[in-house]
Amino acid sequence: MNPVQQNHYDVLVIGGGPAGTTIASLLAEKGRSVCLLEKAHHPRFHIGESLLPMNLPILKKLGVLDQVDAIGIKKYAAEFNSTDTLLAQDTFYFAKATTPGHPFAYQVRRSEFDEILFKNCKKKGVVAIEGMTVIGTDLKDSVKKIHAQDEQGKRHEFSARYLIDASGRDTVLAQQLNSKHKNPKHKMAAIYGHFNNVERRTGKDAGNISIYWFKHGWIWLIPLKDGITSIGCVCWPDYLKSRTMPLAEFLQQTLELIPEVRERIRHAQLEGKAQATGNYSYQSNTMSGDGFLLIGDAYAFVDPVFSSGVYLAMQSATKGADLVDQLLENNTPHKSLISQFESSVAEEINAFCWFIYRFNSPALHKLLMSSDEAAQHPIKQKLKSAVISVLAGDAYNNTKIRLPLRAFKFLYLINKLAEFKKNHAFNHFRKQQNQT
Ligand SMILES: Cc1cc2nc3c(=O)[nH]c(=O)nc-3n(C[C@H](O)[C@H](O)[C@H](O)COP(=O)(O)OP(=O)(O)OC[C@H]3O[C@@H](n4cnc5c(N)ncnc54)[C@H](O)[C@@H]3O)c2cc1C
C-alpha cells in the first residue's frame, strides 16, 4: 500500500464515519485539499441505524440521497409503547411536525450507509485512506501534524493548516487534550444485536422505529431493508451489572420481559453476535482550538433514544465545513465565527438533552402518552407537533416551536408536581444510578 504521495494538505480529517466524510466532502467541494484517515475498512459494522428527517437535506447536499434511498427503508414515524400509561401506544408521524417539510427519514445498515459516504468523499477529490490509525497529533505550531500507523506497522506523518477530529467514540483529540468527561446527568449502557424474522408493522408503518419503555430502561426495534431488525436494550447500570449469563442469552431474556416484544420476536433468531456498549454519554470541554475542531461523537454523545447521533454528527460537519473554509480564507475575525459555530452545535445537542434526561421519567411518559381523547385537543396537538419537530431534528432556529415547547415543558412540571412522590422516587433512583 502506498497511497500517500503528498503529505501536506489544507485540511486533515481523523475518521471516516458520517461526520468525517461529510466535512471532508464539503471542504473538497469548496476547493480545499483534504486528506481523511480511517483506521478501519469500509464496509464495517457500526451501531446507529435510525436516521432523522433532517438528515435528508444534508444527504441531498452531499449528492447521495438516491443511493441512501436504495439501501434504506423509509421511517415515517417513531412509535412509543408503555405499559404504565393510559395509552399503551402512540405513533409520532414526522408529517405532523410544526414545519412538516420532511415527512420521513431512513433506517439504514451503517456498513452500507458509511461506505456510500466514504466513496462519495473520494469521488469529490478527498484523499481518503483506510487502514490508517491516527496515533498522535501535534497541535503546537501553525502547521498541524498527524502521526499515523498503517496495518503493516509503518509510521506516516501528515500535515495540514487545519485538523478535524471526527474519530467518533475513540475521541482522539479529546483524549490527547484531556478534555473528555463523563456526562454527570446521564449514565446508561446498551446491549444489542441483529435479528431475523421479527414481526413488523404493516403498510406505511413497516419502517417505523418502535420504542418500548420497561422497568430497566427502554428497548428499540429498528427494521432494516433486508428483513433484519436491529434490536437493542438501553438499561440502567445496576441491571446490566446483574448479568450472570452470556450476553446473547441476557439480551434475549431482557427482550422477553416485555410481552409485546416477546410476541414480536417469537420466531426470531439472533444473526451474528450480541454486542454491548458501556456508559456511552460523554462530552469534551473543548470543541475547538487554534487550528483544530472536534465534530460529531468526537466532541460529544448523549443517548441513542431520539436517533439524533448521525444527524448531529453530519450537521456539525456541515456547519464545520463552512467555518473551516472561512477560517482558511482568513478574512474574517476568528473568534466570533468560532463562538457562533460552537453555540449552534451546543444548542442542537441541548434541544435533545431536555427530552433525553427525562425520557424514563413517569411525568414524561404520561405527557407523551395521554389518552386518545385528550390527545385530540387542538392545543395538545400543537404541543405534540412541536415535540415532533424536535424529534425530526428541526429544533435549531425554529421560532415556531419555541412557545409550544415552553408550554410542553410547563405541563411536564405540572405533571411532575401532581405525582410528586412517584417522580421524586424516580429522580432519586436516576441520581443514584448516575453515581454508580
Ligand atoms: C447503542 C447506540 C445506539 C445508537 N443508535 C443510533 C441511532 O439509531 N441513530 C443515530 O443517529 N445514532 C445512533 N447512535 C449514535 C451514532 O452511532 C453516532 O452518533 C454516529 O455514528 C456518530 O458519527 P461520527 O462520524 O461522529 O462517528 P463514527 O460513526 O463513530 O465514526 C468515527 C470513525 O472514526 C474512525 N476512527 C476512530 N479512531 C480512529 C483513529 N485513531 N484513526 C483513524 N480513524 C479512526 C472509526 O473507525 C470510525 O469509522 C447510537 C449510539 C449508540 C452507542
Give residues with Cβ within 8 angstroms of 250, minimum separation 6: 191, 243, 274
Output the tens digit of pLDDT for each of the chain's 436 residues. 444 446 899 999 999 999 999 999 999 999 999 999 999 999 999 999 999 999 999 999 999 999 999 999 999 999 999 876 656 888 999 999 998 889 999 999 999 999 999 999 999 999 999 999 999 999 999 899 999 999 999 999 999 999 999 999 999 999 999 999 988 888 888 999 999 999 999 999 999 999 999 989 999 999 999 899 999 999 988 899 899 999 999 999 999 999 999 999 999 999 999 999 987 889 999 999 999 999 999 999 998 888 999 999 999 999 999 999 999 997 566 888 999 999 999 999 999 999 998 888 888 888 888 766 666 788 888 888 999 999 999 988 889 999 999 999 999 899 888 887 877 777 777 777 777 7
Task: Tell how far the Cα of 297 is from the centroid of ligand 1, in angstroms.
Answer: 6
The residue nearest atom 30 of ligand 1, judged by CA position, is 168
Question: Residue 287 is placed in which grid cell?
Answer: 470543541
| Residue found by looking up cell 385528550 in the block | 374
Of 413, 368, 414, the closest CA to residue 87 belongs to 368
Ligand 1 mean position, distance from CA 90 (Å): 29
Q: Which residue has its alpha carbon closest to ligand 1 atom 35?
A: 15
Name the residue among 72, 63, 81, 64 with its Cα closest to residue 104. 72
- Which pTM was predicted? 0.94
Q: What confidence score (pLDDT) does residue 26 get? A: 98
Which of 3.40.50.1820, 3.30.420.10, 3.30.9.100, 3.30.43.10 would CATH assign to domain 189-277? 3.30.9.100
Amino acid identity at 350: N
DSSP-derived pairing of the beta strands 34-37 and 127-129? parallel
**Separation of 168 CA from ligand 1 center, angstroms?**
5
Enumerate the domain spans of the chain: 8-69+108-182+283-353, 73-107+360-435, 189-277
- Give the amino acid at 52: L
Q: If you take atom 6 of ligand 1, which residue's CA is the nearest one?
A: 48
At 67, which amino acid appears?
A: Q
Residue 278 CB partners (closer than 8 Å, separation 6+): 189
313: CA distance to ligand 1 center in Å?
A: 9
Q: How far is the CA of 24 from the centre of ligand 1 (A)?
A: 16
Specify the residue with its C-alpha closest to ligand 1, atom 18. Answer: 309
d(CA 143, CA 160): 6
Decide if 22 contacts 317 (C-beta within 8 A): yes
Contact (Cβ atoms closer than 8 angstroms) between residue 289 and residue 268: no
How far apart are the CA of 113 and the centre of ligand 1, in A?
Answer: 12
Residue nearest to atom 41 of ligand 1 (CA): 134
Candidates 3.40.1350.10, 3.50.50.60, 1.10.1040.10, 3.40.50.1220; CATH matching 8-69+108-182+283-353: 3.50.50.60
Contact 200, 223 (CB under 8 A): yes
Q: Which of 297, 306, 352 to mutate to test the pocket of ligand 1 (most atoms within 8 A of CB)?
A: 297
What does the alpha-carbon distance between residue 309 and residue 298 come to, in Å, rounded to a whole number? 11
Selection from 98, 41, 191, 158 nearest residue 399 by Cα: 98
Q: What is the pLDDT of residue 237?
A: 86
Nearest-atom index, ligand 1, CA of 133: 42
**Cα 408-390-14 angle, rounded to 5 deg:** 145
Closest among 100, 113, 147 to 4, alpha carbons compared: 147
Residues with C-beta less than 6 Å from any ligand 1 atom: 14-20, 37-40, 46-51, 133-134, 166-170, 172, 190, 192, 232, 277, 280, 296-298, 301, 304, 307-311, 313
| Amino acid at residue number 299 | Y
Q: What pLDDT score was predicted for residue 271?
A: 96
Q: Three-class SS string for the chain?
A: CCCCCCCEEEEEEECCCHHHHHHHHHHHHCCCCEEEECCCCCCCCCCCCECCCCHHHHHHHHCCHHHHHHHCEEECEEEEECCCCCCCEEEEEHHHCCCCCCCCEEECCHHHHHHHHHHHHHHCCCEEECCEEEEEEECCCCCEEEEEEECCCCEEEEEEEEEEECCHHHCHHHHHHCCEEECCCCCCEEEEEEEECCCCCCHHHHHCEEEEEECCEEEEEEECCCCCEEEEEEECHHHHHCCCCCHHHHHHHHHCCCHHHHHHCCCCEEEEEEEEECCCCEEECCCEECCEEECHHHCEECCCCCCCHHHHHHHHHHHHHHHHHHHHHCCCCHHHHHHHHHHHHHHHHHHHHHHHHHCCCHHHHHHHCCCHHHHCCHHHHHHHHHHHHHHCCCCCCCHHHHHHHHHHHHHHHHHHHHCHHHHHHHHHHHHHHHHC
Q: Which of 46, 52, 147, 391 to probe ligand 1 with, by most ligand atoms within 8 A of CB?
A: 46
**What pLDDT shows up at residue 373?**
64
Shared fold status for 8-69+108-182+283-353 and 189-277? no
Atom of ligand 1 nearest to the CA of 222: 8
